[in-house]
Amino acid sequence: MFTRCILFFMILLFAGSSVSAQQGSRSPYSFLGLGTQSFRGTVENRSMAGLGMLSDSIHLNLKNPAAYADLALTAFTTGATINSVSVESASQADDIEYLTLDYIAVGLPFNNLGVGFGVKPRTAVGYELQEIEDRRISQFSGRGGVNTVYFSAGFEPIKNFRLGATANYNFGDIESRAIILRDQVQFSSRERNFITISGFSFDVGALYDVKLNNSLTLSTSGRYETGAALNTEVRREFATIQIGQNQTELIVNQIDQGPFNSEVDLPELYAFGLGIGENRKWFVGLEYENYSAPDFSALGFNFGTDVVQKEARALRLGGYFIPRYNDPVSYLKRVVYRAGIRYQETGLEYRGQDINEFGISFGLGIPAGRLFTNANLGVEYFERGTTSNNLVKEKFISVFLSFSFNDKWFIKSKYN
């Protein structure tokens, strides 16, 4: 068991560095604030439109910590997504593809207590933009984001009632660059911003099931995430440059400012869910989320008067169906079939336009034998943004895959 623990920690550290190094967005909207939302739940969650109110004995639910109370086996899971994006404006279109590592997590059961830890991205920044006005060309680019290392615990104080809590350490770096080139002017202007972000946040969750009869169960859920003030350190460089061969940037003169210390405020979240189903057969649930308005005004370089951060809301409808989970003959009858639909107001208003999302998703939970206890495959189509007022509309096709390893640890010895 000690060897397994060492292996898991080594994988976790490697995954943490991989999550930090990856560029998890290619969205022009990641220019604003701390970037676009990265973590949308596990593959099982996302296949049901991001529904975060389900728990069982072998799957990890990283959206509601109360779900750890139902864990019966040690679980190790990791997920990744292939994104294919069509970006459209009023005058042109472009296609982009990229791969992201979504999360890596471990869950451990101890009688009525379950704990878990892992790493996941929170926001992602990745964009390259160009604006042409008369005799001036403005180029903008950025990379980075915020990641989270977390520790969760869930327990069952009363039968069918579970509580849980999570402590998150958020950290990351964001780099942005702006270059202005003027026709028939020898030198260009460049601004670079380097932001380091760190701080803690917390969330709590609850799950409660009510037996309606011998087969049907009514499930309810609640989640709350604290609004957290993250520390930021901003350093800026203002330079006069000359563009050389192969687009190299030759510095003529440079002025450094900072570092300046400030804070950005993450939003509070309230979420409530209600669903009905038959254990190991089917489930349908509806979940509502409400986010307060965050405050990213400390990042003045990408938070001008064109940007308004408002309350955000999301409505998710999803569920699953298992023809017969223990069928001894038909493999397809043991497969979990998932689907969902969602509508999300991101709370971002840019140039007077609300940037909202609408998506549908489907997925399969595949029994995978001894090597992988189960594999989960999902696909989601969703749209974000609008082409009005010189903005862009993004159309995503995301294919996500996860593998889960399950085993029984901490078995009490019967013989000495």
Q: Which domains does the chain have, with CATH numbers?
A: 2-407 (2.40.160.60)
Give the separation between CA 171 and CA 61, rounded to whole angstroms: 22
Three-class secondary structure of residue 10 per DSSP: helix
Give alpha helix (H) positions in 364-405: none
Give the separation between CA 23 and CA 128, rounded to whole angstroms: 12
For the whole prediction, is pTM greater than 0.85?
Answer: yes
Decide: 25 and 31 in contact? Cβ < 8 Å: no
Give the angle subtended at the CA of 362 by the CAs of 356 and 363, to the nearest 5°: 130
pLDDT along the chain (416 residues), means of 10: 47 50 71 86 95 90 95 92 90 87 93 92 89 84 93 95 97 92 86 93 96 94 93 92 81 88 92 95 97 83 73 96 86 93 92 92 85 83 90 93 79 50
* Residue 171 CB neighbours (<10 A): 18
**Predicted local distance difference test score (pLDDT) of residue 51:** 94
